[in-house]
Amino acid sequence: QVQLVESGGGLVQAGGSLRLSCTASGRTFGSYAVGWFRQAPGKEREFIASISSGGEGSYDADSVKGRFTVSRDNAKNTVYLQMNSLKPEDTAVYYCARSTFGIAAMKDQYDFWGQGTQVTVSS
């Protein structure tokens, strides 16, 4: 069983930055791509970014391109989401998940999910 735990969320003013972490249990974490999603109240869960198992490749959603960067440190079993130039519309619960299909943007391509961390951006 794989467990993913997100951390690093909080309240930040518009234009500010946060770095989210996703730490996983298990020895095979470095064999899987990992993705970040977010869900705002009343909205569907939205793809943000995905990074390959070795960290050499990634894919970002247009809504965050140029502002958010995904990275990973497999020695620490951790994937990061650096979020800069935050906007009020970035307010959501952010989730990380393990992909079974490499870099992927569809929710059903992920099998294990974390519990989420709240990010609130004030105007």
What integer pLDDT is reported at residue 21 of this predicted model? 98
Residue 110 CA to residue 102 CA, distance in Å, equals 9
Residue 22 CA to residue 8 CA, distance in Å, equals 9
Residue 57 CA to residue 28 CA, distance in Å, equals 18
Tokens of 6: 């997100």
What integer pLDDT is reported at residue 84 of this predicted model? 98
- What is the full per-residue pLDDT of the chain (123 aa) written as tens digits? 889 999 999 999 999 999 999 999 977 888 999 999 999 999 999 999 999 999 999 999 999 999 999 999 999 999 999 999 999 999 999 999 999 889 999 999 999 999 999 999 999
